[in-house]
Structure 1
Amino acid sequence: MTIRTPRCLKIRYRVADAPEVPVEVYNAPDITLAPTFVEIRYLAPLGVQPAFVDATVTGYWMRGGERVQPEKEMLHHFKNGPDGWPEWLAAEARLHDPQADDAARREQIRRALAEADGFNYEHLEPHDYQRHADAILALPGMQPPAERAAGGAEQPRVTVDGDGFLVHLPEVTYLDTQVWAVDVGLTVEALRQLRDAADAQLRRLADEAQQQRSTPAASPRCICGDRIERWTGPGDPGWIHSPGSDTPCTDARLAHDEGEHCFCGPECADAAGEGR
């Protein structure tokens, strides 16, 4: 079984109502940081370099529950964690650690949920928050890398998502996200599969466009039989006879709405019933 471990996994998310984090500020004692944004990086071992975790916490400087100057979001960096970090930040890092085993991750989730509800984790009964932990661990992307790699069958997918496309990458070797971009590392085989998925999606879109071009659009007709179109200029919207029409009709009305299906196109089921 091939076990693939990301070289770097970076997680960024906003936080609200998080506990203030003690920070060291030169010439400003007793400062804490009220977190608003957290970024945690997990780097796997590389050669002689061991695995390590670092974090960047964005927030406002606080003293005694009040904001202090400068009243803007500041960044503070924490390295070589999570041991020795402030308790809340260490718990956040362990909660998302991609190398944590299921039992440890389960307890981290139970602790986070209990403390969020105002309960002491140490006083929980064995059954408390177990179903909640199961539900969270079952979410996509929450399984450890070895378990995700063992599945093996999943391949990259490209699907339509509104006006754009959604790319699903089941296996990555590197992931680095920013607010404006994302860098993704892929194996050669995964890149081939992504190319094939993108080609299939582009071929499908081209086929649909060709079909639309080869199918003439039905022209709506007036009860007099001449072509009409919707008026989109000033004034009330309505139907008007198309440019070039020499019909004496002065009241453009859609034939289909008036039951005159003999003037409808072939897409009208009622027109077919009238023998057209």
Structure 2
Amino acid sequence: MKLLRYGLPGQERPGILDKDGNVRDLSNVISDIHGATLSDESLKKIAAIDSSSLPLVADPVRFGPCVNNVGKFICIGLNYADHAAESGLAVPDEPVVFMKATSAITGPNDNVIKPRNSTKLDWEVELGIIIGKHCSYVELDDAMDHIAGYCVINDVSERNFQLERGGQWDKGKGCDSFGPIGPYVVTKDEVPDPLNLNLWLKVNGKTFQNGSTKHMVFGPAFLVHYLSQFMSLQPGDVISTGTPPGVGLGQKPPLYLEVGDVMELGIEGMGTQKQTVVKA
């Protein structure tokens, strides 16, 4: 299934994509797409419904963030060996973990705001994991049972804030609009092998990232297992799993986003995003 949220910011309603690619309203079935509705029981209930019987949503449709009330937005750095190389950093022995502020979360096609004093605004297409079941100290063999689905994420980054302003990475990762997620939560039954997905990103029509999740250093199951050793994971939490090479920082010379630039990105079978950079 492809679950989604549509409508004006703050007024989103739950929906589902039918077999013909039309948006159908789920408001009479569930209240929203959030932790409680991502449980196995809830997803089975939704899957049992004939989506063609649900109210059709007329175009145009704004897609909101595909999950609401995200408790934790956890990110993994340097999770592709070739991206670590272009960043001039070693492949980590253990996952590099940082957080994005949940206030950074936006819809997949909403504008990206260039912060005040930003000089090195960058892009990162990433596979997102959506947690569907509470877990703490989960065994590796059981980790996939705690994943509800996956989504597209643009881990927008300000490299000056991230790398040149002291302290942790978070200040260059959590600015408003730096977390477009969606358009869909694609349930894991539709993603038989999350380590065999093509992902790409273009800026102003030029392809900069064109990679595959098969080059991840640490895969989704391991990441859920690993993170659960340090913190419990709750339904609705989002994990952004790292980016392939081709970010602005890795260009020679480096290339960064300016007001008016347009990013387009997507992951095989998970839909696409499109954002325009605007001034703060």
Larger radius of gyration: 1
**Range class of TM-score, shorter chain:** under 0.3
The TM-score normalised by the length of structure 1 is 0.22
Q: Which has the higher contact order (CA 8 A, sep 6+)?
A: 2
